[in-house]
Structure 1
Amino acid sequence: MKREQERRKQTLAAACQDLKSEPTSDYRHLLVNNKHQILFNFIPKVSCSTWKTIWRRLNSKNGELKMLLPHYRKDDARLMNYRKVLFVREPMSRLLSAYLSKFHSWTGTQRIWESRYGRAIVKRYRGVENPKLGGGGGKWLNITFIEFIKHITDLGSGIRINELNDHWLPQYKLSRPCHVKYDFIGHFENIAVEGPFVLRWLGINHFVRFPKYHSSNAKEHFGEYYESISPDLMRKLMDYYREDYKLFGYSPDDVMSLVQRGV
């Protein structure tokens, strides 16, 4: 694990030299525990709910009421002195996970996302003005995965972060890895091992435990959804997540190989 962490940090440091700039927007993804002096950067669709639950339990045991690092400043001493943890995920898998949970769940969550983004998507890619959203189990907009990808690549990443679009925005924009010097960089793909490990490494495994990991829907349906995406659109998507691939050591070639094999 130590050797792998060193490899990931070296990859990150090398990519940071080529990164022109990091986002300067307000920061809202750092969970803090002052008793154990830990900062944890959560990223939506990277076991985000699990990590928030773990932190809520840990803080409740310590009598800490606030989970988020308040009023983030780049000179906050805790950024230098606390141990800092980040978990990331292969970008294409994370994107598909966001689509399946937000546009393909047939729940109230899908209603929210269709209301917030679906109308604009339908207007732009279907030419339908003011599509109606049914309530109480009525009509769905049925946003397709291709439409979702087109919306993201056309919109671009230079937009203000909010609690919805952070589910698909590049992960480096949500974690600022070239500024925040993370002590542990975990990979979602190995979370069944790295999740429990990092709790032991932080010395908090006596207070909280990492739950049993269940395979994601995105992994099971990866080939099914991506095989229908045209090469041109895949190139645009790869370009959109270019920095994530470079910084966190994932391989676009490996992803394209999986898609071509229908895995």
Structure 2
Amino acid sequence: KKLYSCFLKKVASTAWKLLFLRLGSHIGDISIDDFRNLDYNDIPNTHFEQNVDETLAWFRLRNYMTFFITRHPFERLVSAFNDKLTIKSLKYKYMRILRTGEISFVQFVRYIIKEYKEGRGDQLDVHWLPQVKLCHPCQLNYDYIMRFETLANDSSRLLEYLQWDRKEDSKIKLSVQKSATQTEDTKVAFGQISQDEIKILKEIYKEDFTLLGYNPDLIVVDGKKTF
């Protein structure tokens, strides 16, 4: 079965890119960390290039199994901040945005709000651009939609379906053994910004909340309200 996915940044995209390559026998059994450390030229990146041929893109959408993975918008936002804008991340690509050493979460949120208010909400970086603006679930009829919060179980079901004809000891599995969350980080980060700022963030990510079925007022993990 051929797969076609909309990979969202900060929503298990690296883990599933590795699975794509392993399912197609393009790469061996390596860990996600080792995969991240591979030189760009050592990865068959043509599998993940955006389609420039519209006819081919529509053919694939009609004939391939399609899926994408969603994530609570605020969890994804904090994950992007931690990964791209903190000193510990060692990634300074975005440090020039505010031209101040290390960027705080408060500054990061105010930057996003400023861009939104000045009409540049659709031009935000792909790591924090709303998910529906990247994967367009209203326009595309995806076969399978998974949640980052239940990634292990959701991925296992899809992988089981894709590998129905493989022997059990040869089946490829997702290395994540439990649902991936970072709720505590999100609670701490959002405790630093005002209710007015949270209200605007809810407006910016309104379509994500509405169309992807997330509650903007709380995060639920294992049935418990945590935010």
Could you say which TM-score interval applies, normalised by the shorter chain?
0.7 to 0.9
* Partners of 1:254 and 1:107 in 2: CA distance: 27
SS of corresponding position for 2:58 = coil
**Residues 1:114 and 2:95 aligned together:** yes
The Cα offsets for residues 36-92 of structure 1, whole Å up to 9 and x where unpaired, read as 221111111111111111112223449xx5313532527621111211111000000
Q: 1:102 to 1:90 in 2, by over 3 A?
A: same
TM-score normalised by L of structure 1:
0.67
Deviation string, structure 1 residues 118-159 (Cα, Å, up to 9, x no partner): 42xx4xxxxxxxxxxxxxxxxxx1211011011112112544
- What's the counterpart of residue 254 of structure 1? 218
Gaps of 5+ in 2: 28-43
Q: Does 1:67 align with 2:31?
A: no
What's the CA shift for 1:207?
A: 5.0
Corresponding residue for residue 11 of structure 2: 46
Q: Is the 8 A contact 1:97 1:217 kept in 2?
A: no
Equivalent residue runs for 1:153-232 within 5 Å: 153-156=113-116, 158-160=121-123, 165-203=125-163, 206=170, 208-213=172-177, 218-232=182-196
| Worse overlay, 219-228 or 74-83 | 74-83
Query: In the alignment, which of 62, 78, 89 is matched to residue 80 of structure 1?
Result: 62
1:102 aligns with 2:84: yes
- The percent of aligned pairs where both chains have the same amino acid is 28
CA contact under 8 A between 1:192 and 1:213: conserved in structure 2?
Answer: yes
Match runs of 1:237-252 below 5 Å: 237-252=201-216
Tell me which amino acid in the other structure corresponds to 2:60: R
Larger RCO (CA within 8 A; separation ≥ 6): 1
User: Could you tell me how far apart the structure 1 residues matched to 2:98 and 2:178 are?
Assistant: 29
Structure 1 portions without partners, runs of 5+: 1-35, 123-140
Q: Which residue identity does 1:146 align to in structure 2?
A: V
Q: Distance in 1 between matches of 2:177 and 2:133?
A: 26
Distance, in Å, in 2 between the alignment partners of 1:166 and 1:101 is 13
Secondary structure, counterpart of 1:185 in structure 2: strand
The CA RMSD measured in Å over matched residues stands at 2.8
User: What TM-score do the two structures reach when normalised by structure 2?
Assistant: 0.76
